[in-house]
Amino acid sequence: MVEVKKWVAEMEALCKPEKVVWIDGEGLDEYRKEALKSGELIELNNELMPGCFLHRSALNDVARSEDKTFICTTKEDDVGPTNNWRAPDEMYSVLTSLFDGVMKGRTMYVIPFCMGTVGSPFSKLGVEITDSIYVVLNMCIMTRVSKEVTKALGAEFVKCLHSTAELDIDKRYICHFPEDNAIWSINSGYGGNALLGKKCLALRIASYRAKEENWLAEHMLILGIENPAGETRYVCAAFPSACGKTNLAMLIPPEIYRQKGYKIWCVGDDIAWLRIGEDGRLWAVNPENGYFGVVPGTNEKTNPNALAAISKDTIFTNVVYDEDKNTVWWEGLDNPPKNAINWKGEKWTNREEKGAHPNSRFTAPAKNCPILSPEFENPKGVPISAIIFGGRRAKTAPLVYQARNFDHGVFVASTMASETTAAQTGAVGVTRIDSMAMKPFCGYNMGDYFAHWLKMGALIGDKAPKIFNVNWFRTDEQGRFIWPGFGDNLRVLEWILARCDGTATAVESPIGYMPTPKDINIEGLDITHTDLENLLNVDSELWKAEIIAIKEYYETFGDRLPQKLWEELSNLESRFS
Ligand code: OXD
Ligand code: MN
């Protein structure tokens, strides 16, 4: 605690707030009231949505700002071509002048928090300093904040400094100093830029540490699948932002599976920390304590569990406000409200325009999820049978395939591509390679990151999870999705688990092992075997173009790219010739 107090005093001297308030997760009503007074929050209908609030962000502050995110290490080469780099001294000097006096007349909130269960040797402690009540309230949902956490604080903690400042986009910086265990973020209040326990600590700083300590910090959901015999097996899945991780993590089995007795348990929807357990298998924990999910599209059909989770004690950001009911609404729900205010805070009259921002979010406590896994708090986590990677691809990637072995799986994951979404600023729908869905989140050179994955595979040996790739987003000639997705994705998971058990058949293809149409259970689905054939089709012309794009991407890593991955690429090329 001495170290924490010393650091907080230094930051107080720099930011010059009017007062300093320590947060321990209790008495939050006082801060909510202040936020209601300032207009930062709107209290929603307490009967229909108890404990729920609406927040509207600044118009320029609605997504992660990847171009304003920096990794600051002594050597530029250590961050690699997928990150923005600045020398630590140079960046500290820019930031110090921006933070100088930034909290004059404001309150400085100090939030000790824990990523992972308190007391677990795998958890990480942090302290976030912020001048935003919205950040305080979100952090108290997304992370563990309690008296116990404050008591546990010692010399080792991640120093997280945040200010919304003037929300000036030209002076926005989200900076990571992995050599100092520090994160400084200014001029944004958006989740991924401002809730520093999430992307900044649990992925960028944690991935850096994980490389040194032989574990993995990944952009993955964790899901338990209980079969009719009552056995639960766990999988992790990495998809880029806004590609359906929350929906998969909370899926409801199709009717025929429910009748048989299948159940799903949600351990996490966004981040997994994976370690080799005493038994030699890979074990995963979710370091978060809540969900920061995309709202539009969430409904009774796509994700009833998320809908239940956000029915109380939730903060909504940038959705539509229903003036008559004092509730919220978003695209994907029925019955748009008659009298409404859009996410920008204007009367929603032009109904051709979306009312909720496409990246509008909910922040809800994990315990609200009706299918939260009983293992959620287990400090050891859950053993992982399969790791699934996937993206949003209209063509090219088939519904599912299995990597030939772990190293080939690392190759598959390093080359996965996806169409960009509204979760980051910039154009939507542009295909980019997003290795392991970690391109925006890996805190060091991704060439070294691939080598680290290969090393982890070697360390785990034959107890390593099997690796798969999925694509729920393939479209037909009319641009319609062919695969129904959502709950029906369990049909694909069933094949994946059967492959892990060695009980499902597969055929070899140039890209890996694939099911034949008869291997995927489509009973009760409005889909034909011809549709499945299309979904599983591997178009060699598209793949040849893919190989060229992969080559160009790999070249950007120079000699940091492991030779093994060049070999895998050349093997793939020869399988197509
Ligand atoms: C998120 C993201 O908020 O990936 O989880 O952007
Ligand atoms: Mn995410």
Q: 5-42, pLDDT tens digit by residue?
A: 999 999 999 999 999 999 999 999 999 999 999 999 99
The whole-number pLDDT of residue 430 equals 84
Q: 166-193, pLDDT tens digit by residue?
A: 999 999 999 999 999 999 999 999 999 9
Residue carrying the six token digits 């173009």: 545
pLDDT of 566 > 90? The answer is yes
Q: How many residues can be counted in the chain?
A: 577
The whole-number pLDDT of residue 393 equals 93
Sign of CA dihedral 63, 67, 72, 76: positive
Mutational pocket test of ligand 1: of 195, 198, 199, the residue with most ligand atoms within 8 Å of the beta carbon = 199
The whole-number pLDDT of residue 183 equals 98
Q: 485-494, pLDDT tens digit by residue?
A: 999 999 999 9
Q: Are strands 361-365 and 431-433 parallel, antiparallel or unpaired?
A: unpaired
Q: What percent of the chain has pLDDT over 70?
A: 100
pLDDT of 371 > 90? The answer is yes
> Is 160 annotated in the active site?
no
Q: CA 77, CA 133: separation in Å to the nearest integer?
A: 38
Q: Nearest CA to 512 among 484, 482, 543, 473?
A: 543
User: How far does the chain reach from its first CA to its final CA, in angstroms?
Assistant: 63
On whether the CB atoms of residues 39 and 134 are closer than 8 A, the answer is: no
Q: CA 201, CA 210: separation in Å to the nearest integer?
A: 12
Confidence of residue 422 (pLDDT cuts 50, 70, 90): confident
Mean pLDDT of 58-68: 96
Q: 114-126, pLDDT tens digit by residue?
A: 999 998 988 999 9
Q: Nearest CA to 314 among 35, 41, 45, 50?
A: 50
CA distances (Å), origin 335, targets 251, 339, 361: 24, 12, 20
CA distances (Å), origin 261, targets 23, 255, 422: 44, 10, 37
Distance 241 CA to ligand 2 centre (A): 5
pLDDT of 352 > 90? The answer is yes
Q: Nearest CA to 243 among 428, 476, 14?
A: 428
The whole-number pLDDT of residue 419 equals 87
Could you say which of 160, 243, 266, 442 is catalytic? 243
Average pLDDT, the chain: 96
Q: Nearest CA to 203 among 265, 139, 286?
A: 286
Taking the CA of residue 219 as reference, the ligand 1 atom at the shortest distance is 4
Q: 437-460, pLDDT tens digit by residue?
A: 999 999 999 999 999 999 999 999
Q: Nearest CA to 399 among 479, 485, 467?
A: 485
The distance from CA 380 to its chain's CA centroid, rounded to whole angstroms, is 21
Distance 423 CA to ligand 1 centre (A): 6
Distance 257 CA to ligand 1 centre (A): 30
- 3-state helix, strand, coil split of the chain in percent (to 5) is 35, 25, 45
